[in-house]
Amino acid sequence: MNTWWWSAAARRPGRVALLAGLALALAFPPLPLAFMLLGAFVPLLMLVEVRQERRAAGLPVEPRRLFSLLYRAFLVWNLGTCYWLMLTAFQVESTGEAVEAFVAGLLAVGLNPILMSVPWLLYAALRQRLSRPLALVGWGVGWLAFEQLHLNWDLTWSWLNLAHGFTMFPGYLQYLEFTGTGGTALHVLVANGLLFELSCRGREARSLGRWPVVLAGWVLLPWLLYPLLTWPDRAVFQPVGQLRVRIVQPNIDPYVKFDPEAEEEQLRLMLELADLPAPEGLDLVLLPETALPDGVWHENLRYDPQIVPFIELSYRRQLSVLLGLVYRRRIPAGQPIPPHARSYGPEGDGPYYESFNAAVVAGDTVVSKKGKLVPFVERAPFLRQLSFLNRWQIDLGGNFGSFGLPDTLVSLPTRSGAELTPVICYESPFGDWVRTLVGRGGQLICILTNDGWFGQSSGHLQHAYLASLRAIETRRAVARCANTGLSLTTDNRGFIEQRLGWWQRGVIDARLPLYVEPTFYMRYGDYLGRSAVLVAAFFVLLAFINRRWAERAGFGWPS
């Protein structure tokens, strides 16, 4: 098999690239094939090595050929995993909106492979100047830096971070409380590097030595650490109380949700589900993202007709109701007008206001605003620098547009005194962001989302399983409330305990423990990713130095 791969890498590199892309795509949910990630990059490493051998032998090497192969592999990965981004085109009514939605999804899966190729092009440049092991270190650091940077800019799309392939296996990821998802990326990259080195040694007829044992130990390490990391006497597993929680899944078609004629029926349905009998009593009811179909002004948070029935329910049954809404705030005269603001004057010359995708406990005026917004759907990227992009917003219906970003981060108190951390939809893939929110005093993570835009595709499953990562990183239980599914609960080890499936209307009642102990990751965040960015900058410089300097510096030079 090893000989076949090397032969194919030399003679049929296009097929090898396609197979690598297919392996990467199959490793992500809903298929339970995550462990393919531990070797899925090896074929691409072979392609780079074959290219280096041709160069060293004085044979012609096409400069653009490697990028073409990498792009092909990563396009298959993106299409195979995130095909659902284009499914909104089949849901909207007008042809214009369908074309717009399809092109937007196609751009996302078409541009992301270009960014993914950058660490590999760095590796190819390093391989020309450095020994194979040192160049592999540069490749691994480059990929970690790529994931870190891709999490923290306006065009962020972290869906294919390597850790997200393992969300169906929380038992394998218990170390995330110390490393965050950067630890899983590091684990995958090292496994691929070790397997590639074994493959090279086998091809070169060199002794394998202890390399197979090292690889096996590295792959099994998370399982070996599991008993220690989940030891029940550890401080992070000691609850300080519990909440009796009801998760309401109303199952409302998201493309009908914002129709003014359907608002009254939707609110009645959600109130009916929230008010069902609970033999053991309730402390908290969760409603999904934008549960209130029309926007609510700040001054009406206690008086808006949409929210008043839930406030009354809260007082009548002595519980708290956490719900999603579009929160609107007027901008006082004389204050600067942010680029995402809107005017409600007839010609754009009236008073200005800003809108936020937000969550609130019914009856309270403390609002938690969503801080990670979907590019071009909830906020145009680089809006402050390129305000004309605001016209390119993609309308998925209702109150979508250019939302504002939070000025402060808060937890939301309940009647019982427990502190909630609302995580709204697209915020859930961002571990560093969620740990910052939980650090404001959160004892229970409440994910509010509306996953119905893309139909019964892989998208809603991939999104739902991210709850396990956030639970492990913060050692908090998670209650996830989705409009159309999946709604679920997890313990603070990331294991799903209860779930309500796709397109099912109903409720989940659960007793969820509260935790206050901070984890190592909560204190230090994505330190692996930040460190990788700094080290990658050094390797970028190293990739462009001359050969003689590298030899004098002791970095070695490939023969």
Q: What is the three-class DSSP state of 93?
A: coil
**C-alpha–C-alpha distance, residues 182 and 15, integer Å:** 30
Q: For residue 37, which phi and psi values (nearest 5 degrees)?
A: -60, -25
CA–CA dist 17, 76 (Å, integer) = 9
Cα separation of 361 and 203, whole Å? 63
pLDDT for 400 equals 46
What integer pLDDT is reported at residue 257 of this predicted model? 86
What pLDDT score does 544 carry? 76
| pTM of the model as a whole | 0.93
Strands 296-297, 367-369: pairing is unpaired
List the beta bridge partners of residue 249: 506
Q: Mean pLDDT of successive 10-residue segments in the chain (559 residues)?
A: 88 96 98 98 97 89 90 97 88 74 85 96 92 95 97 92 98 98 98 96 88 96 98 98 98 88 93 96 97 94 97 98 96 83 66 93 97 86 62 45 88 97 97 98 97 89 98 98 96 98 96 98 98 95 66 48
Reported as type and span, the H/E element at residue 196 is: helix 181-203
Can you give the pLDDT at residue 65?
Answer: 92
First-residue to last-residue Cα distance in the chain: 26
Beta strands in 291-443 (DSSP E): 296-297, 320-330, 342-343, 352-361, 367-369, 412-413, 419-424
Q: Which of 278, 273, 285 is nearest to 243 (CA)?
A: 285
CA 285 → CA 246, 360, 494, distances in Å?
5, 12, 21
Task: State the pLDDT at residue 102.
Answer: 83
